[in-house]
Amino acid sequence: MFEIPSSQKIDFLSNAASIGLDLADMAGRGVALSQCRVFFDFDNTISKIDVLDDLIERFSIDRKWRLLEQEWQAGKIGSEECLHGQLRSVRVTRHELVDYLSEIDIDPYFHRILVLLKSAGVRPIVVSDSFNFLIETILKSNDVHGVKILANRLRIHEDRLTPVFPYRNQACLRCGNCKTSHLRNEDSFGKVLVYVGDGLSDCCASLQAHLVFAKDTLAGHLRDKEKKFIWFKNLRDVYDGLKGLSHG
């Protein structure tokens, strides 16, 4: 299993990050699941809907969020400016927020993926340009525990929400949470990086990963970049792919 001299291993990993691997490449190299770091986007990847978009639309007192969303989609503003502007129009108390979030379903195959990863000794990491509080509340209400979450923070005071961005990258500002920095973390050294995502905020980070499961906007981006990826409809496809790897 993936037992090659460390210098060749580093060459292999850096080459694999630029062109991408598929499951056959992984099997051919004998890459075991236990040698992977596995990152998941949250909205529309683990959750069945884009929760943050839905929340903003549902609890906004005006329609300013639409213009901000269009400007963000067009790359005219970054996530920080977009979310500050959008949340300024949101009115929701903590209690109302928890009630709303407790009704959000996640993809049922996420549970199976967690069991699979746990059996290989791998702790999954959620990287999101949404907010810790939202993700934690949804996962808890779906009986998911033990997942590492790296996301933006939310301050809730009465019915006002204020975003905080502990992981922004001052050199870029495209995303509130620089997912790329999480993949480049020293814990990733020598590991095979697996990424699962769907959207704009996944584009940079997925280019750092060795094996990417992608759909929607992210799939189009990777196609444009000529990087190999595995298209997924839902997490069942991701589960089936990861299950095929040896456990080492």
Smallest distance from the beta carbon of 42 to Mg ion, in angstroms? 6
Q: Which of the 8 DSSP states describes residue 60? A: B
Pairing of strands 125-131, 230-231: unpaired
Pick the stretch among 13-21, 37-45, 70-78, 138-146 that binds Mg ion (CB under 5 A): 37-45
206 counts as binding Mg ion under rule CB under 5 A: no
Q: Smaller CB distance to Mg ion: residue 35 or 86?
A: 86
198 counts as binding Mg ion under rule CB under 5 A: yes
129 counts as binding Mg ion under rule CB under 5 A: no
176 counts as binding Mg ion under rule CB under 5 A: no
Closest to 59 measured CA to CA, from 47, 51, 67, 49 = 51
Cα–Cα distance between 13 and 6 in angstroms, integer? 10
Beta carbons within 8 Å of 28's beta carbon, 6+ residues apart:
none
Q: Smaller CB distance to Mg ion: residue 29 or 215?
A: 215
Which of 29, 36, 43, 83 contacts Mg ion by CB under 5 A?
A: 43
Q: Smaller CB distance to Mg ion: residue 80 or 198?
A: 198
159, containing H or E segment:
none
**Amino acid letter for position 100:** Y
Q: Smaller CB distance to Mg ion: residue 41 or 107?
A: 41
Which of 135, 199, 242, 245 contacts Mg ion by CB under 5 A?
A: 199
Closest to 132 measured CA to CA, from 202, 195, 52, 196 = 52
Question: Which pairs with CB-CB distance under 8 Å and at least 24 residues apart come from 224-227?
Answer: 227/18, 227/19, 227/20
Smallest distance from the beta carbon of 159 to Mg ion, in angstroms? 26
Smallest distance from the beta carbon of 117 to Mg ion, in angstroms? 20
Q: Smaller CB distance to Mg ion: residue 42 or 133?
A: 42
44 counts as binding Mg ion under rule CB under 5 A: yes
Pick the stretch among 3-11, 57-65, 180-188, 193-201 that binds Mg ion (CB under 5 A): 193-201
Cα–Cα distance between 114 and 144 in angstroms, integer? 9
Cα–Cα distance between 242 and 244 in angstroms, integer? 5
Q: What residues line the site for Mg ion (CB under 5 A)?
A: 41, 43-45, 198-199
